[in-house]
Amino acid sequence: MLRLTLSFPIAAMFMFGSLPGAAATFAGLGDLVGGVVSSHAAGVSAEGTTVVGQSVSDSGGEAFRWTSSEGMVGLGDLAGPSFGSSATAVSGDGSVVVGHGSSGGNEFFRWTQVGGMVSLQNGSFITSTATAVSEDGSVVVGLGIGGASIFDQWLMWTQECPPTA
């Protein structure tokens, strides 16, 4: 997969695929409805069937999940006074998406089709973002700023030890 940014204010995103001995093919992934035509990919599932990133919708910058069967679907945002989210990574099978959403400040999130977008913020950080997720989606890691010190701190969330308020 690669990101192609054109010289005028349109960004196009493509999935690159080829078989050994076959010509390379490109498939445009599109963008969300509304706003400017812009999207960028940040992660792809191990199976290569799910792509995540950010596009611009009517509401603003929005995390998306793309599959060949559903196309690009906006994941929304966390509740709060401002709107803005971005997906940064996806589990191996594409069922868990992580990134950050805006609920007044950036908070790292975990998204599933059943649960939707859920904040993993524990209240001790001014801002945070998820940077990676495990193959099975049970562990999320990221970066937080704030808390007792103003320095960056690595964060880890697991299903066995969910965040506390």
Domain-wise residue ranges, the chain: 40-158
How far apart CA 113 and CA 154 sit, in angstroms, is 27
Please report the pLDDT score of residue 136 as a whole number: 93
How far apart CA 101 and CA 85 sit, in angstroms, is 4
How far apart CA 130 and CA 97 sit, in angstroms, is 10
Which regions of the chain are under pLDDT 50? 1-14, 164-165
Whether the Cβ atoms of residue 121 and residue 98 lie closer than 8 Å to each other: no
Please report the pLDDT score of residue 114 as a whole number: 94
Please report the pLDDT score of residue 8 as a whole number: 30
Please report the pLDDT score of residue 149 as a whole number: 59
Burial zone of 80 (CB within 10 Å; 0-12 exposed, 13-18 middle, 19+ buried): middle
Please report the pLDDT score of residue 36 as a whole number: 86
Please report the pLDDT score of residue 12 as a whole number: 41
How far apart CA 63 and CA 132 sit, in angstroms, is 15
Structure tokens given for 63 = 């995390």
Please report the pLDDT score of residue 9 as a whole number: 31
Please report the pLDDT score of residue 49 as a whole number: 92
Q: Determine the 3-state secondary structure of 115 from DSSP.
A: coil
Please report the pLDDT score of residue 5 as a whole number: 34
Whether the Cβ atoms of residue 96 and residue 133 lie closer than 8 Å to each other: yes
Please report the pLDDT score of residue 123 as a whole number: 64
Please report the pLDDT score of residue 4 as a whole number: 34
Q: Span 40-158: which CATH code?
A: 2.120.10.30
